[in-house]
């Protein structure tokens, strides 16, 4: 009897410890791994996408530190604050500082990620570009025909975004491994749920 209850206590303790460890696992959040036309440093195309990279806790820590040292540094934040009174030269210098910070971050990220993770980012970027192009080609004639009708234009733009997201998610099914897909799906659910809580 003692042995059975000890085993139950042990199992409950281990389960609780695992749950606590899972909750404490660092998250990367909406890190700009991705790129798109006119957006060299893009956030996730859809919620949960960053989780598909299966980053280790060590990588997440290194990536967060790289971001703090570059695009989130005090020097860059101060230089890029919007101020209508700065000169054109100061504005250009601030733009260069941000551009340099992004370039430095890109190098740091490349050194932190594995070759497989970098290859996956390239494949996902290409897939998103392909989907975006196909959907825009389909919707562009409708947008042109609806000029002057603001409500219809807004509806078509929303439909375009939703279609890009759904087609892109379908495309990911053929790119991601089962483990990557499971991590992506779980992160997507968590991020959508957390975003919903924030709106309340």
- Which tens digits make up the pLDDT trace of 91-106? 888 888 888 998 999 9
Compute the average pLDDT of residues 170-193.
94
Distance CA 115, CA 100 (A): 24
Distance CA 86, CA 90 (A): 6
Percent share of the chain, pLDDT over 90: 58
Distance CA 178, CA 52 (A): 10
Confidence at 6, pLDDT banded by 50, 70, 90: very low
Token readout for 136 is 């825009």
CA distances from 110 to 6, 20, 62, 104, 118 (A): 49, 31, 11, 10, 7
CB 98 within 8 A of CB 71: yes
Distance CA 87, CA 140 (A): 39
Q: How many helices (H) and strands (E) does the chain have?
A: 7, 2
pLDDT at position 196 over 50: yes
- pLDDT tens figures, 60-119: 999 999 999 998 888 888 776 777 777 888 888 888 888 899 899 999 999 999 999 999
**Of 53, 80, 66, the residue nearest 187 (C-alpha):** 53
The pLDDT assigned to 42 comes to 87
The pLDDT assigned to 25 comes to 58
- pLDDT tens figures, 8-30: 443 444 444 444 344 455 678 88
CB 32 within 8 A of CB 43: yes
Distance CA 91, CA 98 (A): 11
The pLDDT assigned to 19 comes to 45
């Amino acid at each position: 009897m003692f042995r059975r209850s000890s085993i139950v206590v042990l199992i409950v303790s281990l389960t609780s410890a695992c749950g606590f460890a899972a909750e404490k696992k660092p998250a990367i959040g909406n890190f700009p791994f991705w790129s798109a036309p006119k957006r060299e440093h893009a956030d996730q195309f859809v919620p949960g996408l960053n989780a598909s990279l299966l980053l280790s806790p060590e990588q997440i820590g290194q990536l967060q530190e790289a971001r703090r040292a570059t695009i989130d540094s005090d020097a860059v934040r101060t230089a890029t604050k919007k101020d209508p009174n700065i000169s054109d030269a100061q504005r250009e210098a601030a733009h260069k500082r941000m551009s340099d910070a992004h370039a430095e971050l890109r190098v740091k990220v490349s050194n932190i990620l594995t070759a497989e993770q970098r290859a996956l980012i390239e494949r996902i970027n290409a897939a998103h570009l392909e989907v975006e192009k196909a959907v825009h080609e389909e919707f562009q004639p409708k947008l042109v025909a609806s000029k002057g009708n603001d409500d219809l234009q807004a509806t078509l733009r929303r439909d375009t975004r939703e279609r890009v997201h759904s087609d892109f998610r379908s495309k990911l099914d053929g790119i991601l491994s089962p483990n990557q897909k499971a991590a992506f799906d779980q992160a997507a659910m968590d991020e959508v749920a957390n975003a919903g809580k924030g709106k309340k």
